Amino acid sequence: MGQWITVFKEKVRSRAELLKNELENNNVPAVIFDKVDHVYPMLGIVEIKVRESQKEQAESIIKEFRFND
């Protein structure tokens, strides 16, 4: 079935959700792994994970994806 690996880390969950949607729109299943401390939300990160077999495709999509700051 394959291992899930982290391809992106972000402090802002909404930005991670945007990137996850972009990956899924490009046929790369992705999950968000929330490591944020809910007592102290400024601590921790959100990780996006994909299957190891799709790592290179995901990294290519991430490289092209630009956040509008």
Domains of the chain: 4-64 (3.30.70.1530)
Which pLDDT score is estimated for 36? Answer: 76
User: Of 21, 56, 42, whose CA–CA distance to 32 is shortest?
Assistant: 21
Per-residue pLDDT at 12 exceeds 90: no
Per the CB < 8 A criterion, the answer to whether 51 and 22 are in contact is no
Which pLDDT score is estimated for 13? Answer: 87
Residue showing tokens 């939300």: 41
Per the CB < 8 A criterion, the answer to whether 57 and 63 are in contact is no
**Mean pLDDT value of segment 34-38:** 77
Global pTM value: 0.82
Residue 18's DSSP bridge partners are none
Per-residue pLDDT at 10 exceeds 70: yes
pLDDT-based confidence at residue 69 (cuts at 50, 70, 90) = very low
Per the CB < 8 A criterion, the answer to whether 2 and 53 are in contact is yes
